[in-house]
Amino acid sequence: EYWTAKLKADGSATAEGGYILDKFHPSAGSKLTSTASFSNGEWTVVLTRPLASAGPGEVGLAAGKVYPVGFAIHDGH
């Protein structure tokens, strides 16, 4: 499962969920949301989604379990 948050200079953010095979495929039922703020030279971004899977390409999550997570930060594309 792939989540992306696009941050804007005004402090707003948009989020999109999906999966990647040959290219990014957005999840039609994804309920991913994001908030972002910039303060004292640092961004804080919160990505939120329901624990249950919304469809193909999404992983169901369970409270109390541990999941590996990776982060990538890109400037531009």
Higher pLDDT, 74 or 70: 70
Cβ neighbours for 36, distance < 8 A, ≥ 6 positions apart: 5, 7, 11, 12, 13, 43, 44, 45, 46
Q: What angle do CA 75, 4, 57 make, to 5 degrees?
A: 140
pLDDT, average across residues 16-33: 80
pLDDT, average across residues 16-24: 82
Mean pLDDT of the chain: 81
Q: Give me the residue label for tokens 């990505």.
A: 47
pTM beyond 0.85: the answer is no
